Amino acid sequence: MIRAYAHDNGKLRLLDAPVDLTHAIWIDLFEPDAAESQLVATAFGIELPTREDMAEIETSSRLYHEGDTTFMTATLPAGADSGDPVMGPVTFVLAPQRLITLRHHAPRPFTTFPQRAQQAPIGCATAQGVLLGLLDAIIDRLADLLERIARDIDGISRAVFRNEIAPQGKGQDFRQTLKTIGRTGDFLSKMRESLVSLDRVLGFLGQMTLQSKDDRETRGLVKTLSRDEQSLTQHADFLSQKVTLLLDATLGMIDIEQSGIIKIVSVAAVVFLPPTLVASIYGMNFAMMPELGWRFGYPIAIGLMIISAVLPYLFFKRRGWL
């Protein structure tokens, strides 16, 4: 699918099909087929990266120049509202007169940014302005996702440290807590992956603006975006430390619960061991056992078993082991 936008007094205007690419300032290729990719490549004399090229992780394959055209690839999340985001590469192709974006999934900023840019002038008069506005929307989206992760972590923290776990079925609650921590940590790791890729893009873009001697306002916008991204990366690192703390604390709680269960079983074994010994002795079938002829032998044996069970219990109770 090809979506093309032209600039209109600082705003974006969606071009109707069939699209005249020569008037477009931003061309968004979403899951393009071979014919659409070839159409754009031929129209502007550039070679678009394939999906396999976009998935390369080395910097030289993600950030490079070809003549006066710059290629930058970042990893962005899509479908994050479901709690299980889909990560995929997005390539930004910045030419002197237009911006081309190539993607195979649907990050939300690619929907919200055009809608906002069509309603109000937000500096979309140039291809570079469109790119900076789009990157700003992406960083805002990642900030929102990190805020949601922070709220989830606070909820887990209350459950772990403030005894909000239900007293019944503690094992099941702890298992659910571990699952929640695992999902949150996985979500956070994906956000950090995206922030790392954006940091490389912004650093590359910053060097490009310095070398091309762009105006001070453009360099200032790039620096602002870079600072915002770095602050989000630091916040993500802090949240990662909290997730690790919660994981260690939850595992510690599970160890405490297991130790309590083992203690109860051990005490029960000690309490019932003496009565079992008495019952075993008088359960033997030897002919020469003088106690078998006692008139009060049976109640005495029962009394011995009760006393031998009560005394260890009282001892453990006094020592505070129960």
Q: Name the domain boundary from 205, 227, 257.
A: 257
What band does 15 get if pLDDT is binned at 50, 70 and 90?
A: confident
My answer on whether 263 and 167 are in the same domain is: no
- What is residue 171's predicted lDDT score, i.e. its pLDDT? 47
User: 226, 257, 288: which is the final residue of a domain?
Assistant: 257
Supply φ then ψ for residue 175, to 5 degrees. -65, -40
Q: How many residues does the chain have?
A: 322
What's the rounded Cα separation, in Å, for the pair 132 and 205?
10
Q: What is the pLDDT of residue 100?
A: 92
Contacts of 319 (CB under 8 A, 6+ apart): none
pLDDT of the residue at 134: 92
Over pLDDT 90: what percentage of the chain? 27
- Residues spanned by the domain of 299: 259-319
Mark whether 222 and 306 lie in a shared domain: no
Residue 166 has pLDDT above 80, yes or no: no
| In a shared domain, residues 121 and 263 | no
Q: Quick one: 36 and 110 in the same domain?
A: yes
Average pLDDT in the chain: 84
Q: Which residue has the higher pLDDT, 136 or 83?
A: 136
- b vs e for 159-191, b when ≥16 Cβ sit within 10 Å of the residue's Cβ? bbeeeebeeeeeeebbeebeebbeebbebbebb
What DSSP line would sit under 161-182, residue for residue?
HTT-S-STTHHHHHHHHHHHHH
Whether 250 and 160 have beta carbons less than 8 Å apart is answered as yes
Residues 47 and 106 in one domain: yes
Flag whether pLDDT at 216 surpasses 90: no
The percentage of residues in the chain with a pLDDT greater than 70, rounded to a whole number, is 93
End-of-domain residue from the set 238, 257, 276: 257
**Residue 262 buriedness (CB in 10 A; 0-12 / 13-18 / 19+):** exposed
CB atoms within 10 A of CB 11: 18
Clarify whether residues 171 and 315 are in a common domain.
Answer: no
CA distances, 131 to each of 32, 81, 202 (Å): 20, 24, 11
My answer on whether 69 and 137 are in the same domain is: yes
Task: In whole angstroms, give the CA distance from residue 199 to residue 196.
Answer: 5
Residue 136: give its domain's CATH number.
3.30.460.20
151 and 231 fall within a common domain = yes
Most confident of 51-55, 134-138, 259-263: 134-138
pTM equals 0.79
Same domain, 307 and 180: no
pLDDT at 235: 94
Average pLDDT of the segment spanning 256-273: 80
pLDDT of 168 > 60? The answer is no
- Does position 284 have pLDDT exceeding 80, yes or no? no
- pLDDT tens-digit map of 199-215: 999 998 888 877 766 67
Q: Are residues 253 and 266 in the same domain?
A: no
What pLDDT is stored for residue 303 in this prediction? 87
Angle at CA 225, nearest 5°, toward 221 and 231?
145
Look at the block and give the residue holding tokens 């931003």.
26
- Domain harbouring 298, CATH code: 1.20.58.340
Question: Is the pLDDT score of 238 beyond 90?
Answer: yes
Q: What CA–CA distance (Å, rounded) separates 307 from 301?
A: 10
Judgement on whether residues 148 and 44 belong to the same structural domain of the protein? yes
Contact 90, 103 (CB under 8 A): yes
Same-domain pairing of 159 and 85: yes
Quick one: pLDDT band at residue 41, thresholds 50, 70, 90? confident
Number of domains in the chain: 2
Task: Place 169 in a pLDDT band, splitting at 50, 70 and 90.
Answer: very low
